[in-house]
Amino acid sequence: MLGWIDDRLGTASWARSGLRKIFPDHWSFLIGEVALFCLVVLVLTGVFLTLFYVPDATEVTYAGPWQPLQGQQVSAAFNSVMRLSFEVRAGLVMRQIHHWAALVFVAAIAAHLLRVFLTGAFRKPREINWLVGIGLLLLALAMGITGYSLPDDLLSGTGLRVIYSVVIAIPFIGPYLAFLVFGGEFPTAEIVSRLFVFHVMLLPALLIGGVLIHLAILWRQKHSQYAIPGATEHNVVGRSFWPTQVFKSTGLAILTAAVLALMGGLVQINPIWAYGPFDATTVSAPAQPDWYVGWLDGALRLFPPIEFTVLGITIPSPFIPGILLPGIAFGIMSVWPFLEARVRHDTAEHQLLDGPRGNPMRTAFGVAGLLVFVVLTLAGGNDVLAIVFGVPVEAMTEILRVAIVVVPLLGFGITYRICAELRRTRGHPMERAPAVRLRRTDDGGFEEIGPE
């Protein structure tokens, strides 16, 4: 059988190099794979959902089994998701697996990005893959936002309103761009079908293409590795692709699907029947987007009411937190490899990874950046946090406004000190602290020899 294929494609020669290719083994190198397998689950469940979804805002009368909505006018899109949830066998579990997979997908990308950053894996020759990865993160965010807006329910529709308002806030082109994308003044009937085209065709094409490029570059450059015994800048130490890594990765893929299936069946997510169809004249509280957009919403909540008109041009208050801030954040992330190389005068190739403590400055910046993101994400849920901690919403907001400045600064300082200290003592956090070693001197006294 393999001979039949080889006669036509000459595949055996690939097998020689490919099957025995060495990949380093460390659990932190599997985080990216978790993201990849979440994507596989998303595509598979997504195809199922697409076969039932109707991308149409035309009103129909709901006649399904969920009593509170019976007889009401809802969009065909909303109706199709209701039918999928209540009248299609396995519909609800597939929908919930899909949505949980989306949340975990972006979480895994974020964790993977953090690992790549803290170990310096973005350095030469991997700058291109870093940029591809940032692009994939943006595409994943776009997929998520377009996806959860498809059911045209009250919660996601409110989110679309906010996005529309942020776009409107862009000077000069804002209103034109918003009217172009939405097809007119919010709310429009066109937006549902346009989001569908992006979510099901255009963005997946870019995302899958990007993932293939990401993997191809990784394959060609070989994976980076930690400085374990035997590892150098000129080799790869690990285990072979076949059978070890293929088995492990296949097992991980199936276990990822298992975890997502467990969540999809046991934990309710996005109960659109409770929110009801989108209605631009009402809103439900609390109102949040999915977690990975929470940082943007939090920025909108924390930013002070600064709006000014200069030379007749108004800069509305959502512009700085909604457009400038993410632009700066992603800009810094994108140029970081080149910035760091310039600052450290480092043009060498790096195949060996730093541990986080290996570069205290980079790690400190990374932790500070992460803390900014975390505080903003928490700010996105400030009204829920206010209830959890029993404080007024206003107080919670003021606390977070202070935290967004203080916490990253503190984090920077503490992280730097910890990393520098660990480097100095060369201890590993999970081993016992190195004991003091003594040696008897010739004249009977004791002298201390430094830690090993």
Partner 1 sequence: MTAQRGVTLALVASIVASMVLIGLYLAGGNPQLEGIGLAIALGGLGAAIVIWANALLDNRVEAEERHTLASSAEQRSIAREALDPEQISRRRFLVRLLAGAGGVLTAALVLPAFSLGPQPGSDLFRTAWRRGIRVVDTNNRPVRPSSLPLDSVTTVFPEGFVGRPDSQTLLIKVRPADLELPDGRGAWAPDGCIAYSKVCTHAGCPVGLYRAREHQLLCPCHQSTFDVLRGAPPVFGPAARPLPQLPMELDAQGNLVALGDFPEPIGPGFWDMTHPPPAES
Partner 2 sequence: MAAGLDRLNGPAIMSGPMPRLSALALVLAGTLLAFVPIALAAPGGSAGPRPTNDPPTLDRGNPATGQQVFAARCASCHGSDGTGTVNGPSLLGVGAAAADFELRTGRMPSSGAPGSQAVRKPPAFNDATIEDLVAYVSSLGPGPAIPSPRVDPATVSAGQQLFIGNCAPCHGATANGGAVGGGALAPPLDQATPVEVAEALLIGPGQMPVFSGLSDSDRNAIVSYVDFLQAADHPGGFSIGGIGPVPEGFVAWVLGLGLLLVIIVLIAHDWRREAR
Footprint (CB under 8 A) of partner 1, residues 119-158: 125, 158
Instruction: Return the residues of window 124-183 that contact partner 2 according to CB under 8 A.
Output: 154-155
Q: Does residue 103 interact with partner 2 by CB under 8 A?
A: yes
Positions 196 through 225 that interact with partner 1 (CB under 8 A)? 220-222
The alpha-carbon radius of gyration of the chain (Å, integer) is 26
Q: Which of 56, 127, 340, 383 binds partner 2 (CB under 8 A)?
A: 383
Nearest distance, CB of residue 90 and partner 1, angstroms: 6
Distance of CA 289 to the CA centre of its chain: 14
Residue 255 binds partner 1, judged by CB under 8 A: yes
CA 80 remoteness from chain centre? 28
Tell me which residues in 381-410 interact with partner 1 (CB under 8 A): 382-383, 393-394, 397
Closest CA to 337 of 125, 27, 187, 77: 125
**In the complex, what is the shortest distance from the CB of residue 112 to partner 2, in angstroms, rounded to a whole number?**
11
Binding footprint of partner 2, residue count (CB under 8 A)? 81
User: Which position among 1, 285, 311, 449 is part of the footprint of partner 2 (CB under 8 A)?
Assistant: 285
Cα angle for residues 219, 224, 229 (degrees, 5° grid): 130
Nearest of 431, 417, 413, 425 to residue 450 by alpha carbon = 425
Query: Which of 237, 385, 420, 422 touches partner 1 by CB under 8 A?
Result: 237
Angle at 36 between CA 30 and CA 38, to 5 degrees: 105
Q: List the single partner that 314 binds among partner 1, partner 2, none, CB under 5 to 8 Å by kind.
A: partner 1
Among 2, 51, 430, 435, binds partner 2 (CB under 8 A): 430
* Interacting residue with partner 2 among 4, 10, 27, 452 (CB under 8 A): 27
Of 38, 80, 39, the residue nearest 57 (C-alpha)? 80
Rounded Cα distance between 240 and 234, Å, is 17
Q: How far is CA 319 from the centre of its chain?
A: 23
Residue range at the interface with partner 2 (CB under 8 A); choices 26-34, 171-179, 199-207, 409-417: 26-34
The nearer residue to partner 1, 267 or 435, going by C-beta atoms, is 267
Beta pairing partners, 287: none
The listed partner (partner 1, partner 2, none) that binds 179, CB under 5 to 8 Å by sort, is partner 1
Query: What letter does residue 322 receive in the DSSP assignment?
Result: I
The H or E element containing residue 22 is strand 22-23
**Nearer to partner 2 (CB atom), residue 292 or residue 303:** 292
Nearer to partner 1, 184 or 451 (CB): 184
Interface with partner 2 in residues 252-281 (CB under 8 A): 252, 255-256, 259-260, 263, 265-271, 273-276, 279, 281
State the SS3 of 375-442.
HHHHHCCHHHHHHHHCCCHHHHHHHHHHHHHHHHHHHHHHHHHHHHHHHHHCCCCCCCCCCCEEEECC
Check residue 347 for interaction with partner 1 (CB under 8 A): no
304 is a site residue for partner 2 (CB under 8 A): no
**In terms of CB distance, is 230 or 445 closer to partner 1?**
230
17 binds partner 2 (CB under 8 A): no
Cα–Cα dist 379/327, whole Å: 19
75 binds, among partner 1, partner 2, none (CB under 5 to 8 A by kind): none
